Amino acid sequence: MLDGFHAFGKAAVGASLIRFIKGKGGSTQRKIEEEMGVKIIFPSSKKDDSITIEGLSIESVNSASEKIQTIIDEAVKSPNLDYSHFISLPLAIHPELVNKLLNFQNSILGNSDGCPDENWDSDSNEDATDNEVGHRQLDKQPDVAVELKTDDDDNEHVKVNRSKIPLVNYAPKASKSSPLSADLGIDKSIFSKPKTFHLTVLMLKLWNKDRVSAAAEVLQSISSKVMDALDNRPVSIRLKGLDCMKGSLAKARVLYAPVEEIGSEDRLLCACQVITDAYVEAGLVLEKDANQKLKLHATVMNARHRKRVKWTRNADSFDARGIFKQFGSEEWGEYLIREAHLSQRYTFDENGYYHCCASIPFPENMLVD
């Protein structure tokens, strides 16, 4: 404790929120410290979620904590704090689908060597953040708990259930057509990454380890309810054709393969609703996201993730008319949905799929009485 300070508190805020508390050039931090007579000490490691507030009195520490709480509330609601996790239904577990996606991309780009996508940028396929699911914001406001004591509490670490997704042996066929011109706004960066191909159920902002741990527990706790929603029977989907989510075909922003549940019983949507409801009840979902109607789809191209050296007028769209002419009736196939993941964005496991923080299985075999 610094000289002159007689009280301090610990606040678990999360590494992603520290920049909001510091402010530009440290201006927000200095303002809080000067106005409230406290000292804010940030963790030296990104693995540490807590900041320390030191002050002359409990009252000054509490006042600073309340101010920090307000900053966090505003940051969480704003687009400046990106989504960190999401509930995904992995499709990259199906090698035949991965190969079809690679052939699709190679055909459009004019690649004839059929090379796998190991050189793709890791965040080139973050389709889950473009209102395709609907962003969902917190039912409950985030809490920063200040404990006025001298000993730190140990933070629990997230228990991670490793994904069962197998490594896929990529062997795509050679391109069968010439490339569509780069003048159409089409380049490799706007394609979804085959190794991370998925359906998105729900987007989450989990800014510290406690919230990640809570989210993992929620998913695991509803496994039986999800099974019940699926009637304890396997559920498969059919992917056929292409559709445009944003803009016109001439100025498309998102292309996706429509999803159809085989059997038309809506069991998959019911299971997704069970998952969403559980996270809303736990206070882990943004309010605007909770009120969005889920539209399952499999994104294949997204202009939002274009890698560009300099800004261009048409950077946020591409001309998809030629793609629709060639692939508009594409039969992508039928695929079993095997599990649901709590996936972490921008972090990947050895198989190339998003890091799995927790998972629950879906039925794979019919139950026999």
Q: What average pLDDT is seen over the chain?
A: 83
In this predicted structure, the answer to whether residue 170 has a pLDDT above a threshold of 60 is: no
pLDDT: is 136 or 50 the higher one? 50
* Of 144, 153, 152, 290, nearest in space to 207 by CA: 144
Over residues 197-215, mean pLDDT? 96
Summarised one tens digit per residue, pLDDT across range 210-248 is: 999 999 999 999 999 999 999 999 999 999 999 999 779
Please report which helix (H) or strand (E) contains residue 11, including its range.
strand 7-12
Specify the pLDDT at position 48. 82
Q: Which residue has the higher pLDDT, 95 or 366?
A: 95
Phi, psi (degrees; rounded to nearest 5) at 118: -70, -15
Amino acid at position 234, single letter: P
C-alpha span between 193 and 351 (Å, rounded): 13
In the block, residue with structure tokens 């520490």:
61
Burial per residue of 253-274, b for 16 or more beta-carbon CB atoms within 10 angstroms, e otherwise: bbbbbbbebeeeeebbbebbeb
Spell out a b/e string for 117-156, using b for 16 or more CB atoms within 10 Å of the CB, else e: beebeeebbbbbbbebbbbbebbeebebebeeeeeeeebe
Confidence band, pLDDT 50/70/90 cuts, at residue 11: confident
Integer-rounded Cα radius of gyration of the chain: 23
Task: Report pLDDT for 288.
Answer: 87
283 burial level (CB within 10 Å; 0-12, 13-18, 19+): middle
Could you tell me the strand order of the sheet in which 7-12 lies?
A: 7-12, 50-55, 38-41
Q: Say which range, 84-88, 116-120, 173-177, 242-246, has the weakest mean pLDDT.
A: 173-177
pLDDT tens digits for 84-107? 999 999 999 999 999 999 999 999
pLDDT tier at 72, thresholds 50, 70, 90: very high
pLDDT tens-place string over residues 248-307 = 999 999 999 999 999 989 999 999 999 999 999 999 999 889 888 999 999 999 998 888
Tokens of 99: 């190969």
CB atoms within 10 A of CB 16: 18
Structure tokens at 206: 């989990």
Least confident of 11-25, 162-176, 215-229, 354-368: 162-176
User: Containing H/E element for 20?
Assistant: helix 18-22
Please tell me the predicted confidence (pLDDT) of residue 183.
Answer: 67
Lowest mean pLDDT across 14-23, 95-104, 210-219, 312-321: 312-321
The rounded distance, in Å, linking the Cα atoms of 285 and 141 is 10
Nearest to 103 by CA among 173, 153, 39, 43: 173
pLDDT for 329 equals 96
Cα separation, 216 vs 358, in Å, equals 5
Query: Residue 125: CB partners within 8 Å, gap ≥ 6?
Result: 191, 192, 193, 196, 197, 299, 302, 305
Beta carbons within 10 angstroms of residue 238's beta carbon: 15
Q: What pLDDT is recorded for position 237?
A: 98
Nearest to 342 by CA among 213, 255, 239, 152: 213
Which amino acid appears at position 136 of this protein? R
What pLDDT, on the 0 to 100 scale, is given for residue 156? 40
136-167 pLDDT, tens digit per residue, is: 333 344 443 333 333 344 444 433 344 444 44
